[in-house]
Structure 1
Amino acid sequence: MSTTMEQTILTDEQIRFYRENGFVQVDGVLNAEELEELREYLGEAMQADQDNSFSTDKEGGAYYRVLNQKVNTWRDHGGMAKYVLHPRFAGLAKQLTGASAIRLFHDHALYKMPGDSKPTPWHQDMPYWPMNEKGSLSIWITLDDVDERNGCMMFVPGSQKAGKLKGIDFINPQDIKEYVEDPEIAAKQPVIVRMKAGSCTFHDGLTFHYAHSNQTDAPRRVLAIIYMPDGTTYSGKGHPVTNGEALTADQPIRGRLFPVLAK
């Protein structure tokens, strides 16, 4: 893999691995200077008063113990917009999916808080996204070294082939084996993805994934960005990011909040 400030070129093996397994690890997507800058911006965005971005729970809430999360930080913080809208990351999504162009759906800052932390349960993302077609994906950029002690991710390889199933209750989660009907997929050994700060994973919106609890004394900090292939159509289902936007069911998701980032 070769890297510049503007472009990262994936190997054929990385692309093949993603398409077969539904996830891939990409090391070193941020250099040391970018890592420090993004840590500063993310901390500011998490502490700032909300205007166009929003938190999904307040401190002390049940969901907060799973994830202290703020969505669409790019709309309130110019520094976050620099990274969320960066064509380098969207270009990786384009390479992995083979899409003609990639649009932003939204970003979210993800803190796994220290102390009274809970794991992020096994789930797919697609059931929560108001999209008709498959193919959307997330980049998960870690700003800290991650392992099982502080909230690294696990993936079930090939689980995107199970198709879109039902959403998970993050507070009282079900066992993955209760609703994955394909016994071969349900029996697969999850892959633990430990990473150094500044590295990332991409995962398909249908890939089952999990994050460990944070047992350390510092937050685990992540910037996640959700991308969709251009032409992805709106299901009509309500979502905090699309509410109030002029979208029509079964028509492409586009407009001021969903720009093309790579083509």
Structure 2
Amino acid sequence: MENMDMVNRVMSTEQKEFYKEYGFVQVDNILTKDEIAELTSYIEEAMSEQGSRSQKTSTPDMSYYRVLNQKVNVWRDHAGIARYTAHPLLAKVALELAEASGIRLFHDQALWKMPQDSKETPWHQDFPYWPMNDEIGSEGVNRTKTVSVWIPLDDVDETNGCMMFVPGSQKIGKLQGIDLVNPQNIFDEAKGTAIDTTKPVQVPLRKGSCTFHNGLTFHYAHANKTDKPRRVLAIIYMPDGTTYNGKAHIITDPLNLKQDEKLQGGMFPLLARR
């Protein structure tokens, strides 16, 4: 009951049904102004640190830096950020949307779009990049229950890098991962499906609001054309019991995991359960 009471304060039954049908949902005012201010100060500290436990995936001399100035597992650098990465309300919303018995952290990431010289994040799915075994449904298609929350620390719109989603795109299953620097057209793989003619939805947000999306939902972020960074904390959740597919990955490589081993323990803590 406590789980449902917390979730019902911020998300309606209609929003839950919207997520189930379309693979994403906007949730307004999930964090307070004070929480956003505190999280912003923490993440600014963590992004400026060198030699940390997080993994920095781009530097200013790399092409990917124009797409994203990114750090993964930022929670490992800063106890304050860890409080938000393990935030009980965010985790319980993810638990409800995933319709899982338990939800674990896969990782978090700070996602900066740097000012002026930025590129869009091309259309892609998240799940193909993650080293998780597929969750095959009865019709033979991946039906992953992985959920990401995307929390802007600045107001976002099309001028500084807000997101767009293709409603219902999670239903066509897993496609190939897209090269985010020299992207292929993901819609070429979707030809002949209902997604081929589905209009994308743009989602501007006020800071304190967020979106949740399924790991297979097509999404995109505009370039940042302003003179300030666009700052986001993203948190990726996976159902309890998710297993490793054995493929090399920045998160799992140092852990010496065996194929089909459960992703659990201190690096993948259980954040919410029924």
Name 1:172's counterpart in structure 2. 182
Which residues of 2 match residues 43-192 of structure 1 at below 5 A? 43-132=44-133, 133=135, 134-192=144-202
The structural deviation recorded for 1:8 is 3.5
Matching of residue 233 in structure 1 with residue 233 in structure 2: no
**AA partner of residue 248 (structure 1):** K
CA distance, structure 1, for counterparts of residue 6 and residue 73 of structure 2: 24
Assess if the C-alpha contact under 8 Å between 1:136 and 1:229 holds in 2: yes
CA distance, structure 1, for counterparts of residue 165 and residue 173 of structure 2: 15
Identical positions, percent: 59
**AA partner of residue 36 (structure 1):** A
Matched position secondary structure for 2:231: strand
Assess if the C-alpha contact under 8 Å between 1:122 and 1:176 holds in 2: yes
The structural deviation recorded for 1:50 is 3.0
CA distance, structure 2, for counterparts of residue 170 and residue 246 of structure 1: 27
Q: TM-score by structure 2 length?
A: 0.92
Name 1:24's counterpart in structure 2. 25
Name 1:3's counterpart in structure 2. none
Name 1:7's counterpart in structure 2. 6
The structural deviation recorded for 1:246 is 4.1
Matched position secondary structure for 2:181: coil
Name 2:206's counterpart in structure 1. 196
> Any gaps of 5 or more consecutive residues in structure 1?
1-5
Name 1:42's counterpart in structure 2. 43
Assess if the C-alpha contact under 8 Å between 2:178 and 2:186 holds in 1: no
Matched position secondary structure for 1:244: helix
* Equivalent residue in structure 2 for 1:244, among 249, 254, 260: 254
Per mean C-alpha deviation after superposition, the further-off stretch among 128-137 and 149-158 is 128-137
Deviations 1:5-45 (A, max 9, x none): x9342211111000100000000011011011011011111
Distance 1:160 1:42, change over 3 A: same
Assess if the C-alpha contact under 8 Å between 1:66 and 1:112 holds in 2: yes
Assess if the C-alpha contact under 8 Å between 1:162 and 1:182 holds in 2: no
Matched position secondary structure for 2:254: coil
The structural deviation recorded for 1:60 is 3.0
CA distance, structure 2, for counterparts of residue 44 and residue 198 of structure 1: 19
Assess if the C-alpha contact under 8 Å between 1:176 and 1:186 holds in 2: no
Assess if the C-alpha contact under 8 Å between 2:149 and 2:213 holds in 1: yes
Deviations 1:215-260 (A, max 9, x none): 0010011000000000111111111111121422123211210000
Per mean C-alpha deviation after superposition, the further-off stretch among 119-128 and 230-239 is 230-239
Name 1:217's counterpart in structure 2. 227
**AA partner of residue 81 (structure 2):** M
> Any gaps of 5 or more consecutive residues in structure 2?
136-143
**AA partner of residue 149 (structure 1):** T
Instruction: Detail structure 1 runs of 4+ shifted over 3 Å in the superposition.
Output: none
CA distance, structure 1, for counterparts of residue 122 and residue 165 of structure 2: 11
Aligned alpha-carbon RMSD (Å): 1.2
**AA partner of residue 156 (structure 1):** V
CA distance, structure 1, for counterparts of residue 238 and residue 258 of structure 2: 17
Assess if the C-alpha contact under 8 Å between 2:241 and 2:262 holds in 1: yes
CA distance, structure 2, for counterparts of residue 123 and residue 213 of structure 1: 15
**AA partner of residue 220 (structure 1):** R
